[in-house]
């Protein structure tokens, strides 16, 4: 088994100085790929100094873009993705690989509540995990963890789906579930990040994280989201019609609007379902 460890890094010179020696000590035969996402510090120099393969971008393209570049360049049959800021412990990598050997195609390092960046992030991730579990029918313990081991050929099937931003873990996990590639979770501890502060911006990326909810649905089974939503609109319209008929003997424009919205939402769900099926259709 040839192993490649991929770390996207933007201004993470301090974190890499701590993380890289630990990786090479734990897995001396592994290929380590640092994807320098437009850093302005010594990220690339520190990585080369420790013997890592460095892919540099002239400007920042995003965390997901760095993941895709690293996955394309990696030589290993197994890919391990982890953060460069010291939060992930390289000593946990063998745990992921051992679980992968049990027949899984992706193994994710699952954080507990103490591993979340803050209370609001933890609350959002709890909701994402619940929604993903509901959509897939499998228990999803940590949908957004960036520490994971995957089979390279399986992961590369979905590179065209991955966004350039921060939601690559969500997209890849739901894609694996949708394609019936088994996914497992291994509990991990997360340390406090070192070096630069988090690159996530609360307002802009908060809106982006809200879109993850819709991405979860559209990547797996859109009708599971659109059909209940259409039903809510239909029942609301029916209830409002019953009220206006009982009080005024009228069928109002509001009832018509709610019924129309229900039909439109359901039809959008059907179209999304077909698009999803085409997205995962493979030739041969």
136 and 256, same domain (yes or no):
no
215 and 228, same domain (yes or no):
no
Q: Is the pTM of this model over 0.75?
A: yes
User: Which pLDDT value is given to residue 275?
Assistant: 85
Token pair, residue 203, equals: 């307002």
| Share of residues in the chain with pLDDT > 90 (%) | 60
249 and 162, same domain (yes or no):
no
Q: Any idea what DSSP says for residue 55?
A: E
User: Which pLDDT value is given to residue 1?
Assistant: 55
156 and 81, same domain (yes or no):
yes
| Share of residues in the chain with pLDDT > 70 (%) | 88
Which of 220, 236, 263 terminates a domain? The answer is: 220
Q: Which residue has the higher pLDDT, 28 or 215?
A: 28
117 and 238, same domain (yes or no):
no
User: Which pLDDT value is given to residue 284?
Assistant: 42
User: Which pLDDT value is given to residue 188?
Assistant: 92
Model confidence band, residue 79 (pLDDT cutoffs 50, 70, 90)? very high
Which of 176, 200, 220 terminates a domain? The answer is: 220
85 and 184, same domain (yes or no):
yes
Model confidence band, residue 86 (pLDDT cutoffs 50, 70, 90)? confident
174 and 274, same domain (yes or no):
no
Residue 215: C-alpha distances to residues 29, 206, 219, 263, 271 (Å):
37, 14, 6, 22, 15
Evaluate if residue 6 carries a pLDDT over 50.
yes
Is 255 inside a domain boundary? yes
Calpha distance 65→125 (Å, rounded): 22
Q: Which domain holds residue 252?
A: 223-279
What is the maximum alpha-carbon separation in the chain?
A: 81
Calpha distance 116→77 (Å, rounded): 30
- Calculate mean pLDDT across residues 159-174: 86
For residue 260, count other CB atoms closer than 10 A to its CB: 12
Closest CA to 70 of 170, 148, 181, 173: 148
Is 48 inside a domain boundary? yes
User: Which pLDDT value is given to residue 114?
Assistant: 59
213 and 240, same domain (yes or no):
no
Is 216 inside a domain boundary? yes
Coil, strand, or helix at residue 187? strand
In this structure, the chain runs to a length of: 284
181 and 241, same domain (yes or no):
no
Q: 7 φ, ψ to 5°?
A: -125, 110
User: Which pLDDT value is given to residue 203?
Assistant: 56
Is 284 inside a domain boundary? no
Evaluate if residue 122 carries a pLDDT over 50.
yes
The H or E element spanning position 117 is none
* Contact between 61 and 107 (Cβ < 8 Å): no
195 and 113, same domain (yes or no):
yes
Q: Look over the chain and give the mean of its residue pLDDT values, rounded to a whole number.
A: 87
* Contact between 94 and 26 (Cβ < 8 Å): yes
Looking at the DSSP bridge assignments, the partners of residue 81 are 6, 148
User: Which pLDDT value is given to residue 131?
Assistant: 83
- Calculate mean pLDDT across residues 32-50: 93
Model confidence band, residue 65 (pLDDT cutoffs 50, 70, 90)? very high
């Amino acid at each position: 088994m040839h192993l490649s460890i991929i770390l996207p890094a933007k201004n993470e010179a301090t974190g890499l100085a701590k993380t890289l020696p630990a990786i090479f000590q734990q897995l001396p035969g592994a290929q380590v790929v640092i994807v320098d996402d437009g850093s302005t510090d010594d990220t690339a120099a520190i990585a080369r100094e420790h013997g890592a393969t460095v892919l540099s971008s002239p400007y920042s393209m995003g965390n997901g873009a760095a993941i895709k570049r690293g996955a394309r360049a990696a030589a290993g049959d197994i890919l391990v993705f982890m953060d460069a800021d010291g939060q992930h412990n390289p000593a946990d990598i063998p745990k992921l690989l051992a679980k992968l050997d049990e027949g899984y195609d992706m193994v994710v390092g699952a954080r507990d509540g103490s591993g979340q960046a803050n209370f609001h992030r933890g609350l959002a991730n709890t909701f994402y995990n619940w929604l993903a579990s509901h959509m897939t029918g499998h228990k999803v313990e940590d949908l957004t963890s960036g520490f994971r081991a995957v089979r390279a050929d399986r992961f590369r099937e979905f590179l065209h789906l991955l966004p350039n931003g921060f939601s690559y873990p969500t997209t890849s996990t739901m894609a694996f579930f949708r394609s019936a590639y088994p996914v497992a979770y291994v509990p991990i501890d997360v340390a406090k990040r070192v070096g630069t502060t988090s690159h996530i911006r609360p307002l802009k990326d908060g809106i982006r994280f809200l879109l993850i909810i819709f991405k979860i649905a559209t990547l797996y089974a859109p009708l599971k989201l659109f059909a209940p939503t259409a039903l809510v609109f239909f029942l609301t319209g029916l209830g409002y019609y019953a009220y206006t008929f009982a009080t005024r003997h009228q069928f109002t424009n509001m009832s018509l609007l709610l019924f129309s919205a229900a039909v439109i939402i359901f039809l959008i769900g059907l179209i999304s379902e077909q698009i999803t099926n085409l997205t995962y259709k493979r030739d041969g």
